[in-house]
Amino acid sequence: MKHLIVLPAVLAVTACADSGANYQPILDGQPTVAFQSDLAACQSLARNQNQFDQETIGAAVLGAGAGAVLGEVDDEGDALGGAIVGALAGGAAGAVNANERREAIVIECLRGRGH
């Protein structure tokens, strides 16, 4: 039963994994002629930062380990349930962090190109 609850959460986290790279800034004024091509290039740069994905996996693994330990220590908890919850929490936090970092790359890249 726990696996049926966990699967939608895992799918939701992975569905958002690329949202930071798809950031669309709000401009104050008209975009320059080169803006769309620069935006596409900056989004591609942000999307290709694979180290963020590895950090998210690492956060999920650490969360699973911590959750398993806490679940085992808790009188009414279990290690598997704690590991699942910990992995979800760690993975979600890692995904949010990766998205924020990808969004920052898009913004700084566009600034560097004069936008």
pLDDT band at 2 (very low <50, low <70, confident <90, very high): very low
Q: Is residue 46 part of a domain?
A: no
Q: What is the pLDDT of residues 60-95, one digit of tens each?
A: 888 888 888 877 776 666 778 888 888 888 888 888
Bigger pLDDT: 6 or 18?
Answer: 18
Counting Cβ atoms within 10 Å, is residue 73 exposed (0-12), middle (13-18) or buried (19+)? Answer: exposed
Tokens standing for residue 79: 């290690």
Bigger pLDDT: 50 or 30?
Answer: 30
Q: Is residue 2 part of a domain?
A: no
Question: Is the model's pLDDT at 5 over the cut of 60?
Answer: no
Q: Is residue 14 part of a domain?
A: no
Q: Is residue 80 part of a domain?
A: yes
Q: Is residue 79 part of a domain?
A: yes
Distance between CA 100 and CA 97 in Å, rounded? 5
Q: Is residue 76 part of a domain?
A: yes
Q: How many domains does the chain have?
A: 1
Name the nearest CA neighbour of 98 among 21, 38, 6. Answer: 21
Q: Is residue 31 part of a domain?
A: no
Domain span at 83: 53-101
pTM of the model: 0.68
